[in-house]
Amino acid sequence: MGGVELRKRAPAARSGRPPRVDARSIVDAAIGIGLSQVTLKLVAERLGVTAPALYRHVRNRDEIVKLAAIELALNRTQAGGGGGDWPELVRGCACGMVELFVAEPQLICEVMNGTLGPDGEMDFVEQFLAAMAAHGFAPAESIRIHHAVAMLAIGAAVSAIAMKSGYNGGMSHEESIRKALLRRSRKDLPLIRSALPTYLHIDPQQWHESLDALVASIAARRAGSTIAQPHKKKQNRT
């Protein structure tokens, strides 16, 4: 049951018949509920059926989350991978991943646990490679870029989620840090205390600086290979 198959819409049920349940409707229901809240009972209630009816289409709750996660990732990749030049494509991919992970933190757990499997990942990586190929990137180079973007995006999302969620008892990042410092001797952590304003007010968008650096490094590498290519051809003629 791949991502492409899931995106095919089933025909609407006729009036008077029992609710139509298929993989597509189950995925839509899970996305509507939110992946972190998904249970078989909630999905069944949303669809107006009993939980056992779902087992004709999915094995368990984990498979529902997996299929919904793949669908979300595919949709976000398509939304962020439109026209424009390749830096815009790379930035769109990164921002799309961060937005998706922040909106659905459960996805990060699924990635960490390896429960998503390779099928969904390959579907949206393939889309990224196709979009980058239009700008002259070889598949191997685009795979490396996608991997770098994914690592950056996951780190940015984890940081954003942590700051948004707060720490003990729902305290903000600043409140938690100040309280923790009060428990320590004034002689402890002198370097953190010297830069406390920065530590207390970390910009959640700071990861864009790393993204800009990644894009710049790709551009520099491509510029270098463009300059070297004519020289290489000249050597081959002699």
Residue type, 108: I
What single DSSP character describes residue 81? Answer: S
**Which structure tokens are listed for 42?**
């909630």
CB 48 within 8 A of CB 19: yes
Let me know if residue 109 belongs to a domain.
yes
Let me know if residue 238 belongs to a domain.
no
- Count Cβ atoms within 10 A of the Cβ of residue 118 and give its class: 0-12 exposed, 13-18 middle, 19 or more buried: exposed
- Count Cβ atoms within 10 A of the Cβ of residue 203 and give its class: 0-12 exposed, 13-18 middle, 19 or more buried: exposed
Q: For residue 38, how many C-alpha atoms fall within 13 Å in the half-sphere facing its CB?
A: 26
- Count Cβ atoms within 10 A of the Cβ of residue 68 and give its class: 0-12 exposed, 13-18 middle, 19 or more buried: buried
Quote the pLDDT of residue 212. 96
Let me know if residue 161 belongs to a domain.
yes
Burial 8-47 (b: 16+ CB within 10 A, else e): eeeeeeeeeeeeebebbbbbbbbbebebeebebebbbebb
Let me know if residue 235 belongs to a domain.
no
Quote the pLDDT of residue 11. 44
Quote the pLDDT of residue 126. 87
Let me know if residue 236 belongs to a domain.
no
Compute the C-alpha angle 204/196/149, nearest 5°: 25
Closest CA to 104 of 116, 92, 88: 116
Q: Between the CA of residue 221 and those of 21, 32, 215, what are the distances in Å?
A: 51, 43, 10
Q: Residue 125 belongs to what domain range?
A: 3-228
Quote the pLDDT of residue 8. 43
Quote the pLDDT of residue 184. 94
Quote the pLDDT of residue 17. 52
Q: Taking the alpha carbons of 75, 80, 81, 83 in that order, is the dihedral positive or negative?
A: positive
pLDDT by residue, tens only, the chain of 238 residues: 444 344 444 444 444 455 678 888 999 999 899 887 889 999 999 999 999 999 989 888 888 887 887 777 666 655 554 557 999 989 988 988 888 888 878 778 877 777 666 766 787 788 889 989 999 999 999 999 999 999 999 999 988 888 777 655 667 778 888 999 999 999 999 999 999 999 888 888 889 999 999 999 999 999 887 665 555 544 554 4
- Count Cβ atoms within 10 A of the Cβ of residue 103 and give its class: 0-12 exposed, 13-18 middle, 19 or more buried: middle
Quote the pLDDT of residue 133. 94
Domain CATH for 134 = 1.10.357.10
Q: How many residues does the chain have?
A: 238
Quote the pLDDT of residue 18. 54
When divided into structural domains, the chain yields a total of: 1
Let me know if residue 145 belongs to a domain.
yes
Let me know if residue 234 belongs to a domain.
no
Let me know if residue 237 belongs to a domain.
no
Quote the pLDDT of residue 205. 86
